Structure 1
């Protein structure tokens, strides 16, 4: 699938709009599952637990850059079956890779090039690990295979919700927690955190979790429940795929009705202006409402700005929405955009990136008006969830910059100015490495006190882990750049952005960390490959002691490295 997005793939057939949409749709569906021949399964996976069905499955990550065909897979019906599978894998030298929605970019599940004969077993969580129940009026117990949309729908039915969530509703809870998934929210001026909520990541809501871990006394893997005040739990809260969590209990609070205003009339030069410039800056919207997101299409002058605000009653101009995904022009690729993408990829017409950017902006501006989506209001999930699997699939880098609330506009300005300067310089050379968007979100940090649990610990490897050296840092600016897979010079350009961030925010007055689910550690040829970033910058951004504690915990809880792959082996040493 990924090769369809590469120029010169040997195919003489033109990349038509229909072909592009067909390929996008193929990525959006569940991978084909082929029931295993019992004799073949018995030969290749001897003594596999009888009660757990096996099948062959393809693997595709979000953008189709990491793919594998014919891997062995199973879908345990409960935690006990998960345990049986893991113990089988340990005894037979296999590695277990939990799979949720595969809505990620980085090689945390499998590496590119994994072959069908590799001793790698996919464990699908979404079919069965989906139980949900209220533990109390402020806590929900949920299986890690549940989707965020299902979780939020359940909570909404009980008058509960979250302050912020990732935009895709198809993410599984387990996958989201493994990479400290986040939304966009900080307190507006005068706003106070309400009970049961956090302005940090989803990982910061965990009260307890159940994981499969090694037990030296019995000489086997067992299910063990950890509470938030235990040291081992701190590593498992954001484990990057070095663990398998079957169930969690989350702190939750009262739901809120949110208004979401969209606009495309503020120039980037004003929205991303230097601090102190006045006017309609990104920080000014945070001050007013606390919740904002900018989507800036490449080579355009007017970003799509979304601003959420708490609104108990419907404003007169707002349209009430009773379900999520209220931007159909974004979920379903418009004809003009699909045609351009098809031409760019099939003809290697990368110079059309400015045309594509302006077409996407025009489609968004027109779509907001045509669908009456520029001013919507309803229960929180209906405005927070807005990305379906049918949206345009692009590759993405990702970083969080920890800073003070007062310095948010400075970080936004410095990054966007550098991005625009380098994009312009590349274009002058006839190079167009970005044909997607810059996306900017802002959150609080993972303060464990938000759980209202005495002794709660911060996630060790969350990008939102507070800095002990700089307790004044209370905010994170999330920065992503998206472009079509296979775009020439993309990795070179993204490396420049990464080096700028690591150099500019080195821990002196701000600190850059990678966003685990996305692209990072760029060489000029590939992501997740720069040895200095992998071996030094990333561990250093957390502190060697914290990084070492996390790595040591993973090795102790999984000494046989059943939960891992070659990339994670490199990352943790």
Structure 2
């Protein structure tokens, strides 16, 4: 194994230089600052154990397009073949590592690495990266697989325009692929505007361009109005093979029943090559318009230049609209096989250079300045004024050329913004209705926030329109529909044939951005109720915004409910992908929207998985199944068993008592019942005592009440299941005194405390109380209508125990606990005194003054004066 030390990437702070530059913006000279880092990786990190030989390993950083999802010091490999990846994944299975494919990192959502809340969004201001890299951690158990260096081959299989196809590996860059296809007179009818992405990355999220059929336009063979994923004919993926017990390469055809799940897999598998369709090369004309108002374009007012009408005449449009400006930048692409006289011929892509050279440092600075500045409207209008100037200088108002030269315009140096994205699937006839509704929601929210002097959106709204992913386009018999592509057809709704893509851009995510976008998101979800449109998310962008977090992917309800319901094949896709990666060697720790959710015993949502490659995971599953089987047996026989006896039935399996208790708690959550409904009862723990002739009487249905003479030396409190069935208590006791420790309990009985006070009941839970003790004292308080007092150590543990008696335990919050608490319990100035003392005090410290003092003075002052008709007996 070889480990290479990389230089020149921001990882550990060693040296930095500060340079000043003066970018020119709208004729105004504005000084700004750029920080140039010279960092080295820490080569002292422990290497993964027994890493496969002949596969080079190095540390690198994962930084996404918007510099917001960051993972420092991640182990990275550059495999030379698909077979090397197979070796790597089988090693990962044995050593509990996860292998993730990584492309050009031109994405927003955390589909490759998990979102680290401590660092992912710390780059909100221009110099904040210094704090992002200040904490060094051991690399996560993740291996990034970079495919661009070696797995970047492609070849045209058939160049016949009526039956064209090609084969490619995932690391080939889209711009290189398009160039090779163009050399063979082939291409795509639409594709993403960014060329610096890998083909594998684009297919993982169903990358798309813009385009629907114009009036009288016929789709050429090999083309699609859907996403690039819809052109996949066959592919090879790394999947687990049950027969061999290993991960291996497997070829799939588009006609295979399970193939649709892989067409937008979101990183839950690794595809090592694809065979795809291509169509005859198209030449396009792209015209820019900035003289059409947003009101007219979105159909708010009568006009001839609406988006719907441009779609009818040309089929391909894009809208870029800055907030608080009147006229968007509209691009219209039209298929023109010969160059129009007014157009400028372009021989290469990226023909809007004025969008590529906006200094990122200045962009970040401006974004933070105008987020809470009422001059945001003026700044955005300046942006809009900059567009016609750039179009004029670059002579790109009207350009014509091969499709890749006209469609591709986003470089890696293009202004980087964070981006929220939705795909709205509707019918062609309802496009204008959807656009009107979105316009009204968007502009209303902008105005509402501006009245509060808040301007969270300081980037444009972008809009594109495509067709759905029609599997017939790929011209393969029995071709499967894409499972969860944003543009996959809605089953049973053939009239929903169009997808409108909305993206909201801004410089940096913050709480105001999240609140704004979450309001948009909630309004869209409410309006597009599937009657005429279906709301979906765009996988590579920001989604599931919450008003209480300053970044996306945090709205649990949206992740767990809204997203799955928007795809009819969601569940089948999830099951298929999980079945081919049963050890989660590729998708362990994946994004939250794609996991099986189970609530834990504290009521928190968490993932429950069984990883047969891990001893601990197998053991937990076996424990759960054993206890479930025992519960079934006992419930049928109407018997119970103590949790302690259950543990001793199989000590080797359970390990210790806590594992049994935890498994019972999780089983109760899984079955959605209280733990007391299961036949596993805690051993008796709590004690109760009373002196004199005090009796405790309880009703027993229609029978005579049962009276118990309480022993002053201590009686075990019966288990919770029995107490639940008891009738109402009756007694002449004046109060209940609960003590923390059994040692104090016994000492008080020895000191003859029952002869010092009028009748009362003494209870101890022997430390942290069990449910039976808590249920007993709660029932005493409710039935007898007498006060309760708790005597505990004046330290954090004592305060916690007192809190459990009053409110119940955290572990039981998911279940009804009204009958397990003493809500009327109140502090008698102890907390305030403890704060003043600034040190803890145990009960024994008071007893050092003499047990007579504890009983005659301390308890007397605390209790007798607060209990009516109660006096001390001398």
How far, CA to CA, are the matches of 2:299 and 2:206 in structure 1? 30
Does 2:291 align with 1:265? Answer: yes
2:142 to 101, 115, 120: 120
Which residue is 2:556 aligned to?
531
* Paired position in structure 1 for 2:567: 542
C-alpha distance 338-284 of structure 1, shift in aligned 2 (>3 A): farther
Q: Is the Cα contact below 8 Å between 1:185 and 1:444 reproduced in 2?
A: yes
* Aligned-residue offset at 1:566: 2.6
SS in 2 for 1:439: strand
Q: What do residues 284-343 of structure 1 show as CA deviations (whole Å, max 9, x unaligned)?
A: 110000000000012111100000001111110111000000000011117xx9756524
Report the Cα distance in structure 2 between the residues aligned to 1:33 and 1:505, rounded to whole angstroms: 51
The alignment status of 1:250 with 2:276, answered yes or no, reads yes
TM-score normalised by structure 1 residue count: 0.91
- Partner SS, residue 542 of structure 1: coil
Q: What does residue 9 of structure 1 align with?
A: none
Confirm or deny that 1:402 pairs with 2:422: no
Aligned pairs for 1:259-338 within 5 A: 259-274=285-300, 277-333=302-358
1:20-419 to structure 2, matched below 5 A, reads 22=34, 43-113=46-116, 116-137=138-159, 138-274=164-300, 277-333=302-358, 339=362, 341-345=364-368, 350-419=373-442
Deviation digits for residues 410-442 of structure 1, max 9, x if unmatched? 111210221011101100110101000100100
**1:210 to partner: Cα distance:** 0.7
Q: 1:426: which partner in 2?
A: 449
- Judging changes above 3 Å, is the alpha-carbon distance between structure 1 residues 374 and 429 closer, same or farther for their aligned structure 2 residues? same
SS in 2 for 1:82: helix
Distance in 2, matches of 1:387 and 1:535, equals: 33
Query: In the aligned structure 2, how far is the partner of 1:291 from the partner of 1:359?
Result: 27
Cα displacement string for residues 357-411 of structure 1 (whole angstroms, at most 9, x for unaligned residues): 2222111111001110010000000011000011111111111111111111111
Call closer, same or farther: CA 1:91–1:447 in 2, change over 3 Å.
same
User: What does the per-residue CA deviation read over 1:497-519, in whole Å, with 9 as the maximum and x for residues that have no partner?
Assistant: 11111111121111010000001
SS at 2:591's partner residue?
Answer: helix
How has the CA–CA distance of structure 1 residues 353 and 347 changed in structure 2, closer, same or farther, with 3 Å as cutoff?
closer
SS at match of 2:354: helix
Q: What whole-Å deviation, never above 9, does each CA across 1:135-184 have from its counterpart, x for those lacking one? A: 21200100101111011001000000000011110111111001011000
Q: What SS is found at the alignment partner of 1:209?
A: strand
Residue pair 1:273, 1:413 contacting (<8 A) in 2 also: yes
Q: Say whether the 8 Å CA contact 1:110–1:565 is kept in structure 2.
A: no
Q: What secondary structure is seen at the aligned counterpart in 2 of 1:122?
A: strand
Match of 2:490 among 443, 467, 473: 467
Structure 2 residue 526 is matched with structure 1 residue 500: no
**Structure-2 change in CA distance of 1:56 and 1:478 (3 Å):** same
TM-score after normalising by structure 2:
0.60
SS where residue 231 of structure 1 aligns? coil
Please give the secondary structure, in 2, of the residue aligned with 1:536. Answer: helix
Label 1:118 to 1:155 Cα distance change in 2 as closer, same or farther (>3 A): same
Q: CA deviation at 1:50?
A: 1.6
Q: Is the 8 A contact 2:426 2:496 kept in 1?
A: yes
Kept in 2, the 8 Å contact 1:61–1:104? The answer is yes
1:245 alignment partner, SS class: strand
Shift of 1:20: 6.8
Structure 1 residues 341 and 82 mapped into 2: Cα distance closer, same or farther (>3 Å)? closer
Q: Evaluate the alpha carbon distance shift between residue 308 and residue 32 of structure 1 in structure 2; reply closer, same or farther with a 3 A threshold.
A: farther
CA RMSD of aligned residues (A): 2.4
Shift in Å, 1:68: 1.4
CA 1:20–1:321 in 2, change beyond 3 Å: closer, same or farther?
farther
Quick check: 1:433–1:483 contact (8 Å CA) kept in 2?
yes
Distance 1:341 1:481 in 2: 17
Three-state SS of the structure 1 residue aligned to 2:365 is helix
Select the structure with the greater relative contact order (CA < 8 A; seq sep ≥ 6). Answer: 1
* Deviations, residues 230-259 of structure 1 (Å, cap 9, x unaligned): 122110110011111111011011001110
Distance 1:570 1:519, change over 3 A: closer
CA contact (8 A) 2:238 2:270 kept: yes
Q: Structure 1 unaligned runs (5+)?
A: 5-12
- Contact 2:367 2:506 survives alignment (8 Å): no
Structure 2 counterpart of 1:10: none
CA distance in 2 between partners of 1:15 and 1:528 (Å): 36
1:191-217 deviations in whole A, cap 9, x for unaligned?
A: 011000000000000001111100011
Aligned pairs, how many?
Answer: 549
Q: Distance in 2 between matches of 1:555 and 1:319?
A: 51
CA spacing shift, 1:500–1:569, aligned 2, 3 Å: closer
Secondary structure of the equivalent of 1:85?
A: helix
Point out where structure 2 has 5 or more consecutive residues left out of the alignment. 1-9, 11-17, 24-30, 120-136, 597-874
Cα distance, 1:187–1:344 mapped onto 2, change above 3 Å = closer
